Amino acid sequence: MHLACMLHIVYLYRCKNLSATEKVKSFLQWNFSNLLISQYTNTYVAMLFSNQEFIRAPKGANNDEFENVLNGCINQAWDLSNLSSWSTLYMKEENAKEVYLFATADTMLKRIFINTHSGADFLDLIYSIFPKREAQQVIDYYEENANSENRIRPDFGENPTQYLHDLVQKEKERLAKYISDN
């Protein structure tokens, strides 16, 4: 799931004709249509496209060799997967006998973690990092599409592994074509 996200994020990152707000909205639209929503990925996307300090695109994102771009996407996907895995343990911590700590020396992961668990939510983050008018556009889009009454969750079918494999392949092909064309 996170690899497909990273491939799509790098595709958007390289699209110089889109504004930061358009990139966030485009990612959210893609995410709503294709995958479950990851709070860490959303935080990363918002911070990346608004050029927040210490937040970088996956290593090699601007490289013209697809394999270098792919390796950076794989690395970043692992990092966000680690956060997501931890969050499944943390989610019901108040009722648990054990408490799970997430520790990292990676400054970017720390920033993503802190901004996800700051006590505010994703929409508060959007308000704090984008100009007011642009923030409102993203928030309106998010609220309209993330609302459980409006959102049609993606159907992973009888074989979710194959669904994710196919999505990753589709994103690899899109990004490879974009790199070769530009």
pLDDT single digits (tens) 145-177: 887 677 788 999 999 999 999 999 999 999 999
pLDDT single digits (tens) 56-70: 999 999 999 999 999
Distance separating alpha carbons of residues 64 and 34, to the nearest angstrom: 27
Q: Counting Cβ atoms within 10 Å, is residue 74 exposed (0-12), middle (13-18) or buried (19+)?
A: middle
The pLDDT assigned to 93 comes to 63
pLDDT single digits (tens) 7-40: 999 999 999 999 999 999 999 999 999 999 899 9
Contact 8, 48 (CB under 8 A): no
Query: Can you give the pTM of this predicted structure?
Result: 0.91
